[in-house]
């Protein structure tokens, strides 16, 4: 497994692969891998000749009061895990490589970033799209795989790729969950034992929403009220939002008619967790 720190070296390596007719698959990450990341890598591995994984805790997607400094990191462990699933190249750039002095260019997807996490994390998606645009230009992938746990991120990246005519395919992969239903996230390590129990209420509430929907309920208001009540019934939870949106524009819907997603963000203790479920899709754990 090759480790590359320089953007230009990565780009030259990628261009060379392309000229050899090789297919590059790519998983951009912030590191501190869990089974969710490995699932993305296994999927990407299937569809390419060379699997590149980037590890970069991107400062421009963190707000001033967010957890950039204490975001969990363990490069050596990440490398071992990456190697175990057959990653070919780790791209691991330092900040000076990604945002050198004088840096001033940003990519912004204007509409799908307004709702949900865009409301409570202003600038977050601008940071995500900017770093992904850069990474796509550096790694030159034919396909990039994203987890649908970050549903708004997945939709936003797809939109950017279509709008800017980026010549790659974006694949979305279903959320990977612990056996008890908790959506895997690098931030789960922050949870204290009692908080970890309360955090289970997030996936349970999505199951409730799916059950109500399957039983014929189409009113967002009624489903959101039931979900909210269930989350509030356990300690340490502080809801940021519970919303039902169409999956294309991520605009709130009053009634579930077209393809819709229920998305929620909840602070459990000091840790902000997100989860979501597209109505009608499989959800069992």
Residue with Cβ nearer a copy of itself (136 or 279):
136
Q: Rule CB under 8 A: which of 52-91 touch a copy of itself?
A: none
Pick from 5, 83, 84, 108: which binds a copy of itself (CB under 8 A)? 108
As given in the structure block, the two tokens for residue 42 are 């296994």
Backbone angles phi and psi of 149, in degrees to 5: -60, -45
The distance of closest approach from Cβ of residue 116 to a copy of itself in the complex, given in angstroms and rounded to an integer, is 15
Pick from 68, 107, 174, 234: which binds a copy of itself (CB under 8 A)? 107
210 binds a copy of itself (CB under 8 A): no
As given in the structure block, the two tokens for residue 15 are 């261009």
Question: Are 203 and 268 contacting, i.e. CB atoms less than 8 angstroms apart?
Answer: no
Three-state DSSP state, 166? coil
Which residue reads 């297919």 in tokens? 23
180 binds a copy of itself (CB under 8 A): no
227 binds a copy of itself (CB under 8 A): no
The distance of closest approach from Cβ of residue 7 to a copy of itself in the complex, given in angstroms and rounded to an integer, is 6
In the set 37, 124, 142, 277, the catalytic residue is: 37
Q: Given the rule CB under 8 A, which of 53-61, 80-88, 131-139, 187-195 is the region that contacts a copy of itself? A: 131-139
Distance CA 24, CA 41 (A): 12
19 binds a copy of itself (CB under 8 A): yes
Distance CA 98, CA 111 (A): 26
Pick from 134, 171, 272, 277: which binds a copy of itself (CB under 8 A)? 134
257 binds a copy of itself (CB under 8 A): no
Question: Are 168 and 139 contacting, i.e. CB atoms less than 8 angstroms apart?
Answer: no
Question: Are 209 and 230 contacting, i.e. CB atoms less than 8 angstroms apart?
Answer: no
Pick from 110, 180, 238, 281: which binds a copy of itself (CB under 8 A)? 110
Which residue reads 């409730």 in tokens? 208
Beta bridge partners of 145: 171
38 binds a copy of itself (CB under 8 A): no
Residue with Cβ nearer a copy of itself (110 or 180):
110
49 binds a copy of itself (CB under 8 A): no
129 binds a copy of itself (CB under 8 A): yes
Among this protein's residues, is 37 annotated catalytic? yes
**Burial class of residue 61 in the structure, from the number of CB atoms within 10 Å of its CB (0-12 exposed, 13-18 middle, 19+ buried):** buried
Strands 143-147 and 24-29 come out as parallel
> How far from 219 is each of 223, 256, 257, CA to CA, in Å?
6, 7, 10
DSSP state of 60: G
Pick from 5, 80, 84, 106: which binds a copy of itself (CB under 8 A)? 106
Binding site for a copy of itself (CB under 8 A): 7, 11, 15, 18-19, 21, 102-112, 129-130, 133-134, 137-138, 140, 159-160, 163-167, 248-249
């Amino acid at each position: 497994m090759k480790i590359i720190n320089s953007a230009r070296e990565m780009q030259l390596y990628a261009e060379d692969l392309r000229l050899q007719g090789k297919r590059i698959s790519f998983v951009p990450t912030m590191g501190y891998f869990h089974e969710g990341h490995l699932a993305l890598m296994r999927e990407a591995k299937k569809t390419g000749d060379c699997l590149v994984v980037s590890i970069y805790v991107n400062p421009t997607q963190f707000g001033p009061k967010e957890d950039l400094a204490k975001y969990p990191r363990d490069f050596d462990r990440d490398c071992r895990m990456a190697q175990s699933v057959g990653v070919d190249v780790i791209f691991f750039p330092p900040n000076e490589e990604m945002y050198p002095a004088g840096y001033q260019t940003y990519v912004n997807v204007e509409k799908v970033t307004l709702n949900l996490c865009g409301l409570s994390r202003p600038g977050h998606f601008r940071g995500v799209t900017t770093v992904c645009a850069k990474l796509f230009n550096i790694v030159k992938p034919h396909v990039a795989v994203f987890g649908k746990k970050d549903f708004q991120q997945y939709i936003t990246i797809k939109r950017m790729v279509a709008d800017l005519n980026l010549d790659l395919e974006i694949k979305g992969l279903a959320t990977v969950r612990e056996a008890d239903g908790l959506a895997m996230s690098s931030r789960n390590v922050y949870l204290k034992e009692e908080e970890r129990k309360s955090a289970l209420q997030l996936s349970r509430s999505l199951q409730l929403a799916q059950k109500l929907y399957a039983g014929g309920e189409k009113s967002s208001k009624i489903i959101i009220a039931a979900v909210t009540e269930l989350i509030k019934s356990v300690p340490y939870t502080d809801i940021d939002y519970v919303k039902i949106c169409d999956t294309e524009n991520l605009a709130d819907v009053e009634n579930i008619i077209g393809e819709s997603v229920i998305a929620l963000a909840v602070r459990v203790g000091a840790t902000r967790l997100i989860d979501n479920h597209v109505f009608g899709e499989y959800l069992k754990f």
